[in-house]
Chain A
Amino acid sequence: SQELEQSPQSLIVQEGKNLTINCTSSKTLYGLYWYKQKYGEGLIFLMMLQKGGEEKSHEKITAKLDEKKQQSSLHITASQPSHAGIYLCGADSDGDTGRRALTFGSGTRLQVQP
């Protein structure tokens, strides 16, 4: 079965600093999703990446997919306290059948200090 490893597990940064979160898969990535979760709440969709080399941005968050390395990175520029939360990567665990089950990493906990 597919496993996703996220690094770092937790991160504390000063407001205004840049940061990167990585997600590495044990198998080929067919679709990679990034979600944000406030503690104990539901997941908020950020971005989906499908193709190798694909890069997407939303406000100050950029995500990239490196298909060869089976890895995705999430980069936040000029972090703000509103960026604090748990970032989760999820991948389609059934590459060809279209069953939309997601396998998730264990998350990266981000704190942004004012």
Chain B
Amino acid sequence: ETGVTQSPTHLIKTRGQQVTLRCSSQSGHNTVSWYQQALGQGPQFIFQYYREEENGRGNFPPRFSGLQFPNYSSELNVNALELDDSALYLCASSSPGAWRETQYFGPGTRLLVL
């Protein structure tokens, strides 16, 4: 069974640029959630995708957007990058159907905005 994978592992961008982060869910999982973790803080929920549709969103502006593909992999896109977007971005997947199924996290993508 393959776990959650994310790419790239590290990324450096400048303010105003756009970035795309990628996530492959664990085998058999159809729900993907994205979180932002600033240094010294717990992860903050960005949004969740279930069967290719957004299924809930946290308190993040519209310049944070996402996609989920038929194979359940997902992308997080951030436009007009700001310095405060520097963080570890975590993707988590969970299995279908079960109530309160555990979310399994990938290793994260560390984004630095200069």
Contacts and interface: CB of A to CB of B under 8 A. Distances in A.
Interface of A: 4, 30-31, 33, 35, 40-45, 48, 50, 88, 90, 92-94, 98-107
B42 A99 contact: no
Interface in B1-59: 4, 6, 31, 33, 35, 40-45, 48, 55-56, 58
B101 interface: yes
A101 B42 contact: no
Given A43-B90, A106-B40, A106-B41, A100 B101 contact: yes
13 contacts: A40-B110, A42-B105, A42-B108, A45-B105, A88-B43, A99-B48, A100-B101, A101-B56, A101-B58, A102-B33, A102-B35, A103-B45, A106-B40
Interface size class of B (residues with CB under 8 A): 20 to 34
Contacts of B6: 42
Query: Which 4 residue pairs are nearest across A and B when measured between Cβ atoms?
Result: A104-B42, A43-B105, A42-B107, A31-B100
B33 A88 contact: no
A106 B110 CA distance: 18
A36 B74 CA distance: 24
Nearest to A41: B107
